[in-house]
Amino acid sequence: MSDQPRDTIESLFQEKRIFPPPAGFAAQAQIQKAEYERLMTLAQTDYEGFWAEQARAELQWVQPFTQILNASNAPHYQWFEDGLLNVSANCIDRHLPERADQAAILFEGEPGDLRRITYAELLVEVSRFANALRSRGIKKGDRVVLYMPMVPEAVIAMQACARIGAIHSVVFGGFSGDSLRDRIIDAEAAAVVTADGGHRGGRVIELKAVCDHIIDDCPSVHTVFVLKRTGHSVRWNPARDVWWHEITAQVSADCPPLALGAEHPLFLLYTSGSTGRPKGIQHSSAGYLLGTILTMRWVFDIRPGDVFWCTADVGWITGHSYVAYGPLAAGTTLLMYEGAPMIPDPGRYWQMCERHKVSVFYTAPTAIRALKKQGDEYPARYDLSALRLLGSVGEPINPEAWMWYHTHIGHDQCPIVDTWWQTETGIHMIAPVPGVSTLKPGSCGRPLPGIMADIVDNQGHPVCAPDQGGFLVITRPWPSMLRTVWRNPQRYIDTYWKMFDNRYYISGDGARRDADGYYWVMGRVDDVLKVSGHRLGTMEIESALVAHPRVAEAAVVGRPDELTGEAICAFVVARGARPVGPDAQALTQELRQWVGEHIGPIAKPATIRYADNLPKTRSGKIMRRVLRAVAAGHPVTEDTSTLENPDIIRQLQGD
């Protein structure tokens, strides 16, 4: 192994604070230290036996599997392939003897409407929509695209597809018509499930109208199911469009779950690339579901009586794994919210935590930073004492946002599980086990039991020295991993395996590992800046900027520079009013000096631009390709239809 790796990513930012598990939490945790150590040892000594033990214990099988891992066509791995089961039955039916009257879904709409759906009621709703799908000719293996608001019917439709073996593909309700069209055509979907509209940011999002605009370009679609959510008038094609409430009233509430192979595709979820058509990430049934159940127990410490709230939309993998499937498979109560976190004011999330007695809360660092910017007084208005565990997802959380979350939301009593994973991994890969792990703000901790991760240099050699950055890779297959790219197996190999001759799964992220074995994700490898011969991760520079008391948010990108190769360009959202003129000039000098002191002179931004907000999608993702174009002075050619506030681009370009 290489103690002096070639072409690694330099790590200059250090975080020394640590937080052991609170004694009371650790004493009641689902996974105690002895069990955690047993799982880790078993996974190291008998890898396939470890996963077989979990699959037999956690899943309800119609026909038990006898084959654990088939690697004969690697890297197209197969898990438990001769077993039969049904994902929907594992999420709903098996809980009925003990949980028929327990709330499966609590829902709050942006206008304030509330719903409570028990497990028994959920079975009826799922069965009716499954039969509605069948009544329109949808069968095992057919693809169904969902383009929905964040309402219970989105989960019901996903579960209904799983019940009959249809393959669903959820398209985020903020995507444009062009994006929807591309995904429908690539999947060759037979049906689309949408709504007249949804509520977001105090206005109606016209979902049916977007479908109407592109559906004639999608010849494979013969049916559009329409949920009446907002009640406003919509165009209607009686040959193709059917109302959800009408067709479900005409069919039986009994739909026995279909026994399906463990490797039957459960869903496709498309990810956007910088070039080429979107990639349809294909996930299996048994392996994927197993991973969601285990991480609900290991990472979220799910217990009887919990109310679990993941704020993600079902259009993203987080909404699949930790809204639509994981919580139900674990038999807990999940909370769904339709709208924006700032409606009617920045206290909405905390008001909902109080109202619904949320015990486990899981959200994105972008949301945490945005709410932090609004002031400490908003969470202080509400009783958050039911919270016992907090989570972070979507990108590395900078230490100062972590500390605010810990202090003002968790009141120094709630462990924070900072989770690293991807659409392709299906589940958490590196995350704390909250009753066992000592927490370090900004680190996602160690790999979970059964997850074999490593950091390698650009030639695939393991990086052994502490705090040397490199490529974050997974060295052994795991059950919840993507199986392929839909109808493009070569793209699957080229994107995720080819770089190191199919030896490792390539995450595309850069990371370092400290002396305690904790992983610190440093951002996408594509975002690594090459400044005067140094390779710097953007995350560390952003964390240093956000640690400054006048900075609420920051994003860092590179722009070409004749002298240094790349120059660091920072986009900053300040606390309070946006600085302009002399105030902006003074703050820029202060921030450059601050970064130099906290990281080093090499990391000082060459330019800093200020905006009221950063360009983000409705899911909270910063559109870094847009920022790179702005920094370089190029026209913005990206699809910006999903931006929460498109005016921000003009503000950034005009400064």
Q: What is the pLDDT of residues 563-578, one digit of tens each?
A: 667 789 999 999 888 9
Distance (Å, whole) CA 155 – CA 151: 8
Dihedral of alpha carbons 79, 81, 83, 84, sign: positive
Report whether the peptide linkage leading into residue 75 is cis, meaning its omega lies within 30 degrees of zero: yes
Distance (Å, whole) CA 212 – CA 140: 26
Task: Say what the pLDDT of residue 623 is.
Answer: 82
| 445, β-bridge pairs | 519
Distance (Å, whole) CA 202 – CA 222: 33
In DSSP notation, 110-166 reads TTS-EEEEEHHHHHHHHHHHHHHHHHTT--TT-EEEEE--SSHHHHHHHHHHHHHT-
The tokens of 423 are what? 């659409």
- By the 8 A CB rule, do 470 and 457 touch? yes
Task: Say what the pLDDT of residue 2 is.
Answer: 40
pTM of the model: 0.87
How far does Cα 359 stand from its chain's mean position?
A: 20
CA of 178: how far to CAs of 168, 182, 275, 278, 419, in Å? 19, 6, 15, 12, 32
Residue whose token pair is 């217990």:
303
DSSP tag of 235: -
Q: Please, is 330 exposed, middle or buried when counting C-beta atoms within 10 Å of its C-beta (0-12, 13-18, 19+)?
A: buried
Indicate the SS3 state at residue 93: helix
Q: 223-227 and 529-531: which strand pairing?
A: unpaired
Residue whose token pair is 């995507």:
175
Distance (Å, whole) CA 254 – CA 248: 12
Distance (Å, whole) CA 126 – CA 157: 7
Q: All domains of the chain, ordered by start, with CATH?
A: 24-340+419-511 (3.40.50.12780), 528-654 (3.30.300.30)
pLDDT along the chain (655 residues), means of 10: 48 79 94 97 98 98 98 97 98 98 98 98 98 98 98 98 98 89 96 97 94 97 98 96 98 98 98 70 98 98 97 96 98 97 95 98 92 93 98 90 96 97 97 97 97 95 91 98 97 95 94 95 74 69 88 88 78 90 93 85 88 79 83 76 71 70
Indicate the SS3 state at residue 460: coil
- Strand intervals (E) in 370-487: 389-392, 416-418, 453-456, 470-474, 484-485
625 φ, ψ (degrees, to nearest 5): -65, -35
Task: Say what the pLDDT of residue 650 is.
Answer: 77
Task: Say what the pLDDT of residue 564 is.
Answer: 65
C-alpha Rg value of the chain to the nearest Å: 24
Task: Say what the pLDDT of residue 527 is.
Answer: 64
Distance (Å, whole) CA 434 – CA 412: 14
Report whether the peptide linkage leading into residue 238 is cis, meaning its omega lies within 30 degrees of zero: no
Distance (Å, whole) CA 76 – CA 188: 23
Distance (Å, whole) CA 363 – CA 385: 18
Q: What angle do CA 199, 166, 493 make, to 5 degrees?
A: 95
Amino acid at site 51: W
CA of 211: how far to CAs of 55, 372, 438, 548, 644, in Å? 40, 36, 48, 45, 20
Task: Say what the pLDDT of residue 249 is.
Answer: 98
Distance (Å, whole) CA 645 – CA 463: 41
- By the 8 A CB rule, do 62 and 70 touch? no
Task: Say what the pLDDT of residue 532 is.
Answer: 61
Distance (Å, whole) CA 90 – CA 636: 46
Task: Say what the pLDDT of residue 274 is.
Answer: 46
The tokens of 265 are what? 């595709």
